[in-house]
Every structure is written in C-alpha cells, then in structure tokens.
Amino acid sequence: MLSIFKSLISVIVLAGVLLAGAAAGVQKAKDRFNPDGSFWIQGTPPPEFKDIGGINLNSHRSRRFPAAGVELVSGSRLPFKTLTVKPELLTFTTGTLRGISYSFSGRFLKKGVFSAGSLDEDTPVLEGTLTKFRGGRKIAEANLKFTYFGGT
C-alpha cells in the first residue's frame, strides 16, 4: 500500500513539473519577437516613393517570405547593407541600384511573431522615416506608416 502511495505521489509531482515546463514554454513563445514578412506603405505612397514595392524582412531565409531588402515595383530588389531589427526599432540602409539607395529609421507598433498573429492588412504595424538617395545625396524623405503581409 505504501509503495502505491509513493508511486502516486511521484506521478503527481512529475505531472506538475511537466505542466510547469509547458507553461514556461508557452510564455517564452508568447514573448518572442519575429517581424519577418513584407511591409507595404499604407495608402498611396508619396510620388517620390512610388517605386517602392515593400520592405522585406526574412531573418531565417524562409522560402515563405521574399528575400530580405527593399523591393521595387519593377521587381528589382536592393539588399540591406546595414540592418537592425529589435522589438522597438527597425533601421536599415540599402545597397545602390542605378545610383538610388534608401535608409529607414522607425519603430514597430506591434510585438510578437507577426506571421503567427492575426494582423489585418489595413492596420499599420511600423512607422518611421524613409529617405531616398541619388548618388549619396538625399533627394526625398517622408514619415510613413506601413502595413504587414505575411505571405501565403
């Protein structure tokens, strides 16, 4: 009888440990941050930025998302030269294509794993200043908001 009681106590303790571990895993997943996906200018872009198709983040080089960089409506892509992605910050500079390059400094308006969330395509999730350069000289700058698209 005593050995059955000890076995029952052991099972209860083990179940408690497993449940606590699972809860901790859920908490860690909830606190993760991964904004990978595409960010599109909300509304009609200013004329100086009508060539921008989107900003693509793809830190894990997933086939689900486009290659990282600034995608142009022409289909060309300017890869990031510098990139900082943090829950409160996104900054980048791009390489140059036909003398044109871009920089961005902004902040995320949402947290979490963007592709796992239920973000609608009308609500801004990123805002900041996008700057366009020609030959290294600033030719345009705008404060913009961006919506999110996580792919199909």
Distance of CA 78 to the CA centre of its chain: 17
Q: SS3 of 71, please?
A: strand
The pLDDT score that the predictor gives to residue 3 is 57
Consecutive H or E run containing 31: helix 2-31
All residue ranges of the chain with pLDDT < 50 are 5-6, 8-9, 11-29
Model pLDDT for residues 88-114, shown as the tens digit of each residue? 899 999 999 999 999 999 999 988 887
Domain segments of the chain as ranges: 1-31, 37-149
Length of the chain: 152
The pLDDT score that the predictor gives to residue 128 is 98
Q: Which tokens belong to 123?
A: 């609500």
CA distance 103 to 140: 11
The pLDDT score that the predictor gives to residue 62 is 73
